[in-house]
Amino acid sequence: MATDPSHRILFEPLRIGPKTTKNRFYQVPHCNGMGHRWPRTMAEMRGIKAEGGWGVVCTEECSVHPTSDLTPATLMRLWDDSDLPVHELMVNKVHEHGALAGIQLVHNGQSVSNYFSRIPSLAPSPAPTETGNSTQARGMDKQDIRELRRWFREAALRSRRAGYDIIYVYAAHGIMTLLYQFLLQRFNQRTDEYGGSLENRLRLVREVLEDTRDAVGHDCAVAFRFAVDELMGPEGMHKAEAEDIVGTLAELPDLWDVNVADWGNDSLPSRFGAEGAQEKYVQFVKSLTTKPVVGVGRFTSPDTMAGQITRGVLDLIGAARPSIADPFLPQKIKEGRSDEIRECIGCNMCTSGDYVAYPMRCTQNPTMGEEWRRGWHPERIARAATSDSVLVVGGGPSGLEAALAAANRGYDVTLAEASHALGGRVLGETALAPLRQWKRLSDHREYMLSKQTNARLFTQSRLDADQILEMGAAHVAIATGAVWRTDFTGIHHRFPVPVSAPELIISPEDIMSGTMPGGRVMIFDDDHYYLASSLAEHLAAAGIDVLLVTPAAEVAGWTHFTLEYEHIQTRLRELDVDMVCHHGIGGISNGHVRLECVYTGASTPVEVDAVIPVTARNSRAPLFDELMTRQAEWADHGIRTVTRIGDCLVPGTLAMAIHSGHEYARNLDAPDPGDIPFRRENDFDTSRIWPEFTS
């Protein structure tokens, strides 16, 4: 298939300083939880994106000096020449597929505490660090500023030696970068030529840009990443100051990479913003510079992308999350296969890797982070070694992914779903207004399966063990999911809570199926992720009086890692949801719940009309258990394996469920991988990893 004529503009080459990108698809710098600790995992992930058609592929943050030590986060470092092998590995992978490689150099200033290096943190003015552990950053003197400029210059020179094409000066994402801290009055209270007026606060940024151009600008492009608005009004970066900054520096960088701050506004969860949400903030930039401009907006629609360019908003389509969900997004558009794009759902599971310090994962793309570890490619999968048939029982996220991956391998696949539609828990959760964008998970897989001639999908087809045996599929995957517990057993309550009025209890599934209770409804959240707050928002938006109770110190605490937390708190308060933390459930009787303080045990009665526990789930495994008791009958019916996958194996996140289904299909008829089913990067001696560098 050919490129849609209306999308051809996306494949025009574009000059960026001394470099030319082959198209307008630009993977902006993004964190991934791999960095210097898992360099081959990181490099292969970036290389796959270049293979998928991205014209520019950038690193994540790359620290220029031990005074900017991001531990425990795992990002890139370029402190001295010993870090070069990691960078050369990535650059070579990117160049192998004709893409340009970019590096985002950073000093994080007072946003880090330097846990590894144990060197005092630096800041424009003396201030506590942002890590909240009683450490403070030292206000920089003139010698510190000269040293900082030298560190950036030396890092730029090393970047060129490593082979990078685009070298970033980075002043974005709010408090996260020292250069941005110098721009902001709330962090910069200096009274010398680096503080006070905007011209003075901009001085260090200008100097670092000029130093970088002087050092490498004749053969590398210099990019400036700048957050034009913090959405805080006059207390933060705002449009008036941003316009002055862009106007002043307009022609100094070769590329403007613009966004909003902080990270939670830049990588806005789909619950709180649509595709292209940043346009209204960044659209002024092109009117003030002749240099190319790149920006982001969770772009997955080629029509939207082309529109950004033709309307003069951007010159390059920037992406982090969409490039994670589908590394081959550009190639699919080029080949006229836009309908096959695995669209980002904006859940931000990817960002959690940076916060929790593990290799990044993606709910939509189960191969993300597994490219080197397991050899999983997002578009290629080994053909089946046999002509066996596969039966998947359950059409939720795990079952759909298992069926699709098995069909792609060439197996003859049958999927049987008991309910009226495919999707499983995705159907229920996306019935809640905040999560509707997540329907892309099941829609994509159902659509891709519909194109397979070797896959048959059946709804309203509840199977029992006898029927499964009679069907005689060689491989049976049980993907019957899980159900939320209603006895309050979870992290806090390890035993069921006394309930003398069971009629008050409503399950999350009841709400997701359309039940709308009246009166005052209490949600008890011992899950701490997205569902309880989504239920609260869904009910409160319908005018229901909602009380959200949790034994934790805060509501939806795990969503800090997915950049949803502050948005959730704001939304719940706007909807007048009452929130009570540090309390468990002492008991439930007619008309009220007895709350108990988790510290003192003090009891508080609360009148309610309904209670929704969001605590833990039980796998729906009776069908699997029965089949296992009848294992002696398998051979007579041609069955070789029966395997439970996804939430039926163990309840978890949607990302875990989809990964489980994909792993099942990849491993069909494969040799036993042993106790450790992936490669490890535990040889830290670079002379053995890259002997050509040290020889």
* 362 catalytic residue (yes or no): no
* 685 catalytic residue (yes or no): no
Distance from chain centroid for Cα 128: 29
From the CB of residue 331, how many other CB atoms can be counted at a distance below 10 Å?
16
CB 249 within 8 A of CB 198: no
Q: How many residues does the chain have?
A: 695
* 238 catalytic residue (yes or no): no
Any bridge partners for residue 61, and if so which? 104
Q: 3-state SS of 173-220?
A: CHHHCHHHHHHCCCCCCCCCCCCCCHHHHCHHHHHHHHHHHHHHCCCC
- Give 375-438 as a DSSP string: ---SS--PPPSS--EEEEE--SHHHHHHHHHHHHHT-EEEEE-SSSSS-THHHHHTTSGGGGGG
Residue 120 half-sphere exposure toward CB, CA atoms < 13 A: 11
Contacts made by residues 211-214, CB under 8 angstroms, sequence distance 24+: 211/149, 211/152, 211/153, 211/156, 212/152, 212/153, 212/156, 212/167, 212/169, 213/252, 214/153
Query: What 3-state class would DSSP assign to 585?
Result: strand
> Which is the catalytic residue, given 26, 30, 31, 592?
31
| Among candidate residues 313, 229, 293, 316, the one with its CA nearest the CA of residue 266 | 229
| Residues near 349 by beta carbon (within 8 Å), at least 6 away in sequence | 361, 362, 363, 562, 653, 654, 655
> Which is the catalytic residue, given 164, 170, 281, 664?
170
Q: What CA–CA distances, in Å, run from 628 to 399, 623, 640, 649?
A: 19, 9, 12, 14
Place of tokens 């000096």: 65
Q: 263: exposed, middle or buried (C-beta count within 10 Å: 0-12, 13-18, 19+)?
A: buried
DSSP secondary structure letter of residue 454: T
Q: How far apart, in whole angstroms, are the C-alpha atoms of residue 283 and residue 281? A: 6
> Which is the catalytic residue, given 65, 107, 173, 592?
173
Any bridge partners for residue 63, and if so which? 77, 106
Q: How far apart, in whole angstroms, are the C-alpha atoms of residue 216 and residue 539? A: 56
> Which is the catalytic residue, given 69, 229, 257, 266?
266
Q: What CA–CA distances, in Å, run from 457 to 128, 448, 587?
A: 58, 12, 45
Q: How far apart, in whole angstroms, are the C-alpha atoms of residue 121 and residue 71? A: 13
Distance from chain centroid for Cα 204: 32
Radius of gyration of the chain measured on its C-alpha atoms: 27
In Å, the largest CA–CA distance within the chain is: 86
* 266 catalytic residue (yes or no): yes
| Among candidate residues 126, 137, 151, 281, the one with its CA nearest the CA of residue 208 | 151
Catalytically active residues are 31, 170, 173, 266
